């Protein structure tokens, strides 16, 4: 049985990986809070002791505002830690699978789905750090896999941590009678996290490189939000803004390896069915 070290095991993706992969793999983690204080040598020692076949690196500081306000802390978590893990993977022979982000495309002016080959210059600190981590880790560990993930979501359940996401934001707004703002000039994929965790299994076999990883979306965020609300059978007041952003990714490279996602619109239906909710919450 393959041994997988999951970083960020208490987080949104890591906790679901442990739950969904239970009994499929020999899963291991580090003590809670270890990566917040451990230095490079401690990280190497821990990986050597555990001796995993795969390091699945989900740990990060992903709040873009927090990264801007706390750049040193964010740099350590989002650049230095993956670099240390890359060195440990190279020394122990482990395959490193690391989460990156669609935020590397922040500031792109090109319209339409964006490929991995596009030259990018992220406009926010989080995206800048994720791009630097990709580049530095691949220099150390050419067979490492970097997954540029979209905004992800889940519904509360299984006693797992939850965070603000599109369906929850819509549900809360409907319950409170609040108005949410979205832009017709904002484009991005939104992904059901449980499908992302399922697709991490074949992703462990990918050749080294960068991959767009998540649901594609041909709609703007005003239309997407309305489609999610309709699928959940709720009414939400949506205010249209003029914010410009394109994080929509072209996932053809991933699909060429047989790893496919639902579209953003199919994903919410998939999620509701998994929770036995059908067409209405």
Q: Residues near 57 by Cβ (< 8 Å), separated by ≥ 6?
A: 7, 8, 82, 85, 96, 97, 98, 99
| Structure token digits, residue 12 | 């949104």
Q: Which residues are catalytic?
A: 126
């Amino acid at each position: 049985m393959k041994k997988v070290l999951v970083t960020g095991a208490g987080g949104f993706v890591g906790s679901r990986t442990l739950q969904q992969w239970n009994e499929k793999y020999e899963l291991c983690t580090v003590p809670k809070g270890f990566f917040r204080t451990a230095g490079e040598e401690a990280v190497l020692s821990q990986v050597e002791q555990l001796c995993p076949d795969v390091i699945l690196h989900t740990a990060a500081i992903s709040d873009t505002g927090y990264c801007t306000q706390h750049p040193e802390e964010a740099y350590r978590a989002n650049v230095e830690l993956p670099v240390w893990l890359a060195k440990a993977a190279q020394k122990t022979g482990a395959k490193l699978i690391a989460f990156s982000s669609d935020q590397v495309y922040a500031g792109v002016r090109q319209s339409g789905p964006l490929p991995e080959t596009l030259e990018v210059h992220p406009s926010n600190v989080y995206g800048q750090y994720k791009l630097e981590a990709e580049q530095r880790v691949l220099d150390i560990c050419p067979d490492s896999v970097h997954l540029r993930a979209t905004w992800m979501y889940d519904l509360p359940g299984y006693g797992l941590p939850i965070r603000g996401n599109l369906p929850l934001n819509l549900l809360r707004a409907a319950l409170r009678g609040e108005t949410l703002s979205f832009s017709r000039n904002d484009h991005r994929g939104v992904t059901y996290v449980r499908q992302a965790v399922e697709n991490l299994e074949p992703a462990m076999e990918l050749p080294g490189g960068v991959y767009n990883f998540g649901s594609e979306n041909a709609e703007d965020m005003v239309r997407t939000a309305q489609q999610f609300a309709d699928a959940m059978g709720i009414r939400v007041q949506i205010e249209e803004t003029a914010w410009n952003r394109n994080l929509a990714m072209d996932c053809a490279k991933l699909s060429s390896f047989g790893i496919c996602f639902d579209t953003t619109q199919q994903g919410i239906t998939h999620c509701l069915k998994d929770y036995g909710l059908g067409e209405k919450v």
